[in-house]
Amino acid sequence: MLLKPDTFMNQSGRAIRACADFFHLPTNRILVVHDDLDLPVGRIKVIRNGGPGGHRGVLSIIEHLGTTEFPRIKIGIGRPRNAESPEDYVLAPFYGDETEIMLRVFKVAARACRLFIFEGVESAMNEINHQIFANEEEKN
């Protein structure tokens, strides 16, 4: 099942908790997909668990589930290149030269979701985490 909460991102934990309770889901069967400013554009990282890393939505999920023990797919969006605040940057469209990269990244993120569902988090980590879809040296 796919859950896309209607709550504000920084309160998404409420919706996830309600869904987990209703369907009696253990936290290790909940896969959270989110953006990550600390990963460069073109990177995807599948992890078993971890802290919020400054992500308010992930913090909300941790608070409502009462644990950091849930798998995630982190999609790198990099940092703002211009003077935008991080809050504005995450809500803005991708920079023009990132659009093609992100289309490939989203396809791989969908593959990571399927791997998680059918083969488990370890399989998703092993296949996905080594892939990079952008050449950072070209952007600098």
Q: What's the pTM?
A: 0.90
Count of domains for the chain: 1
Tell me whether residue 3 is in a domain.
no
**In the chain, % of residues over pLDDT 90:** 83
Residue 60, Cβ density class (10 Å: 0-12 exposed, 13-18 middle, ≥19 buried): buried
Across the range 18-33, mean pLDDT stands at: 96
pLDDT in tens, 42-62: 999 999 999 999 999 999 999
CATH number of the domain encompassing residue 101: 3.40.50.1470
Tell me whether residue 66 is in a domain.
yes
Range of the domain at 31: 9-139
